Amino acid sequence: MNGPRKRTAVRLARGLVTAFTVVMSVLVFSAGPANGAGAISARLSMRTTATTTSGVVSVDLPMSQHDAQGYINNGARIEVRCYGDDYFFDDQLFPTRTFTRTTGTPPSQADRLWADQYGVHLFTDISFARGAEYNEDLAPDNGDEVYCKGTWIDGDGAVLSAFTTVARGTF
């Protein structure tokens, strides 16, 4: 294949490569970022009685309601772990709690994962026996410190995590 046929084949190949490059560039650069989970926040509030310590952990992920409901419908979950803030090792206070899609009208009850116009939300009650060692700092009268971690795992396995502030008191 010499002469005009070879030049035509080369031009055709270059044209195909150029067209493919243009199409792929348009597809890649026009896709834009997803409007889903990009931030997470977690809060902890504690209360004590004579025998128990309890509290509420709330986890929020701001996004559109459409995206939030889509994530929940497609297997997203939030895991909550709470720890005693100790000098060397932070012991987990209870087994990991996992929250997935729920039904009903939130936020009338705790232990619910739901979507609304502000994003994905979770409120969960926690409790544990009062008087256990939730603090092993060197100072014996230093009180206890507890914190929690909220972890968002979407249906594809992408993860976002946030820690609450440390709650201090005699738990």
pLDDT tens string 74-120: 999 999 999 988 777 788 888 999 998 865 455 555 677 889 999 99
Calculated CA dihedral for residues 63, 67, 71, 73, nearest 10 degrees = 130
DSSP 92-149: BSS--EEE----SSTTSSSSEEEEETTEEEEEEEEEEETTS-S---SSTTS-EEEEEE
> What distance in Å separates the CA atoms of residue 114 and residue 160, rounded to the nearest whole number?
17
pLDDT higher at 55 or 140 = 55
Name the residue with tokens 């994962």: 113
What is the rounded average pLDDT of the residues 139-164? 86
Residue 127 pLDDT:
82
Answer yes or no: are the C-beta atoms of 36 and 67 closer than 8 Å: yes
Rg (alpha carbons) of the chain, rounded to whole number:
26
* 18: helix, strand or coil: helix
Tens digit of each residue's pLDDT (9 = 90 or more) over 1-60: 566 665 665 565 565 555 555 455 544 443 333 456 689 999 999 888 878 888 899 999
**What pLDDT score was predicted for residue 33?**
37
> How far is Cα 147 from Cα 93, in angstroms, rounded to an integer?
10
* The pLDDT value given to residue 52: 80
88 secondary structure, DSSP code? S
Predicted local confidence at residue 26, as pLDDT? 46
pLDDT at 125 (0 to 100) = 87
Whether the predicted model's global pTM rises above the 0.85 cut: no
